[in-house]
Amino acid sequence: MTHSPHGPAKPSLALVLGALGVVFGDIGTSPLYAFYECLHKHHLEITEANVLGVVSLMFWSMTLVVTVKYVALLMNADNRGEGGILALVTLLPAHFRAAPGGRIHIVSLLVIAGAALLFGDGVITPSISVLSAMEGLEVASTAFKPYVVPLTVAILVGLFAVQRRGTGAMGAFFGPVMLIWFLVVAGLGLWSTRLHPGIFAALSPLPAIAFFAEHGLPGVAILGSVVLVVTGGEALYADMGHFGRSPIRIAWTSVAYPALTLGYLGQGALVIARPEAAATPFFSQVPVGPLTYVLVALAAMATVIASQALISAVFSLAYQAMRLGYFPRVRVHHTSSEIEGQIYVPIANWTLAVSCIALVVVFGGSSRLAAAYGLAVSGTMALTSIVFAYVAVFHWGWSRARARIVLLLLLAIDLPFLGATGLKFFEGGYLPFALGAALFLLMSTFFSGRALLGEHLRSISASTDQLNTWLDRADFRRLPGLAVVMTATGDGVPPVLSHLARRFSAVHEHVFLLTASTEATPWVEADQRLEVEPLGDGFFRVMVRYGYLEDPVVPSAVLHAIKQANLDVEDDEVVYVLGRESFMETNRGRMSGWRESIFAFMTRNASDPTLYFKLPPAQVVELGSRVDL
């Protein structure tokens, strides 16, 4: 599958199958633990009214959150085919992202918080998914109980170890395996409904209303477990660029949605008919024996796919955050020459691996992990709704009244889930919150530090008039060749060039003041990529634009700029001049010392700009300076 600059547009069977495998892996494995958690966690008495109420809540949660909110509404808010909360903010005017003095607009803060919570979700999903599948072995025989955690750890180690090979080799199996999984979930569910056909009454909202009427306010707490049926909704939105809007909608409405509905109806009918099955409602749908092992094996494959979907989403999250200036440059490997979205981010991979394995070892069971699950999901859903309202007004041109009405309706769905999962904060919900808070601190600090550094560099940049004064000096020399001076600003003279001119009284015969910018679009059209402006005396201002999903290859852009400027310069006559700042980490600047220390640490450990911009190392010259932000 290849991508057009605007993402896949025409739905095909391959795209629908691919979307089924990658996009719905997370939400598709929820039947393993969601219904059990609703019954077990809240100690519900197994009565027909309670079971009907729970299944009705699950069905209508999927309908309202996934079908209405994400599939019907939010998927219309895309940036040239790309979705997700980070892509959503790029639809807004620039002043919604940053303000003078390194301050961050409230909308950007919400986006950073949502992205940070998604990382917490990415840590928990592989752990709970694989662990819940392995716990199916206990249904076949309790002798397997001591091996559940070691087997889960082994699967996770293998899963993260093969990430560097890319998802291309495994991707061909994702769609077919998940199609089989959804058919099995639907088939088992439909077969189990024969045990209590009255379960179909749960398709009406009345049993859910009756449930709250009977249990009162304490009954709302069950939403903290019901939210497990919609985990993956945000991933559905974020993965839109890989498959396109139509294939995802087709896969959801034709396969995933009806299969999950039948699956939960079947588990409900089984538990009403055989209350003892509430201990393992999913695996109890088949007789104990060989079929159990087959179902465990299929569930294990499905949970690995579900884990892969979230791991890939975290890679994309890290990459987009880096390109939008929320995170320092890190090593990114593109694992496919055909599919732009297939990337491998080593630091994200091994951070996830250590975190997931630690969770499995510490918590030891999917039920305990489920208490930590949901808060990150519901928090991100609520934040996405708020940012969407801004997009509706400032990008689509909606009236404020219309946007507020839609926002209130969306929050009427999101906030009860957020409140219910918040009740589980001290039972494990603190975990994704703590992970999200740590990442929020890092991302917001880096964004502010980067903005302050940009302002500092602009304030000390020389003017073109000052540069002309230096050039007119009798002792000033022009060196043969071309100097490409990398600068973050598109005006003035970069400080590194000022230092070079003052210290050595010389510059090259030709000088490119080159700014490589990341645009608020996934891809930049070829005719908009390069802009060359002659400044006189052999100086040129060069703007190179890249989309936030593109790799910046500066030498290639320089060759095109040389041709556009009609210069007679060979490739080996080009020198790349870089500035490298070190930070004083004091309280005298506008950024507090402790935050400047964090920013300095992140900057020091960022990828080398020579590697990031694909510069030839033998042709790079670096000049350093000390800065107090």
In a domain, 597, yes or no: yes
End position of a domain, from candidates 396, 426, 449? 449
> Is the domain of 329 the same as that of 217?
yes
Highest mean pLDDT among 46-60, 150-164, 452-466: 46-60
End position of a domain, from candidates 449, 478, 506? 449
For residue 449, what pLDDT is reported?
86
For residue 586, what pLDDT is reported?
75
In a domain, 79, yes or no: yes
Please provide the DSSP assignment of 100-146 as one string: GGG---HHHHHHHHHHHHHHHHHHHHHHHHHHHHHTTHHHH-GGGGG
Kindly give the pairing relationship between strand 333-334 and strand 343-344.
antiparallel
> Is the domain of 385 the same as that of 509?
no
Q: What are residue 620's DSSP bridge partners?
A: 576
Report whether 484 contacts 573 (CB < 8 A).
no
> Is the domain of 141 the same as that of 67?
yes
Q: Among 244, 240, 336, which residue's Cα sits nearest to residue 8?
A: 244
> Is the domain of 320 the same as that of 417?
yes
Please give the C-alpha separations between residue 372 and each of 25, 278, 611, in angstroms, as whole numbers: 20, 22, 39
In a domain, 455, yes or no: no
Please give the C-alpha separations between residue 455 and each of 103, 319, 461, in angstroms, as whole numbers: 12, 24, 10
Task: Assign 3-class secondary structure to 559-613.
Answer: HHHHHHCCCCCCHHHEEEEEEEEEECCCCCCCCCHHHHHHHHHHHHCCCCHHHHC
Local confidence band at 3 (pLDDT 50, 70, 90 cut-offs): very low
User: How many domains are contained in the chain?
Assistant: 2
Q: For the whole model, what pTM was predicted?
A: 0.80
Local confidence band at 1 (pLDDT 50, 70, 90 cut-offs): very low
What six digits make up the tokens of 89?
Answer: 């903010």
Place of tokens 């959801």: 252
Question: 554 pLDDT exceeds 90?
Answer: yes
In a domain, 478, yes or no: yes
In a domain, 402, yes or no: yes
CA-atom Rg of the chain in angstroms: 27
> Is the domain of 371 the same as that of 491?
no
Q: Residues 428-447: pLDDT tens digits?
A: 778 888 888 888 999 989 98
Rounded Cα distance, 367 and 34, in Å: 10
CATH code for the domain of 78 = 1.20.1740.10
> Is the domain of 239 the same as that of 366?
yes
Q: Which domain holds residue 272?
A: 13-449
Local confidence band at 293 (pLDDT 50, 70, 90 cut-offs): confident
Q: Residues 10-56: pLDDT tens digits?
A: 567 877 887 887 788 888 888 988 899 888 877 888 999 999 999 99
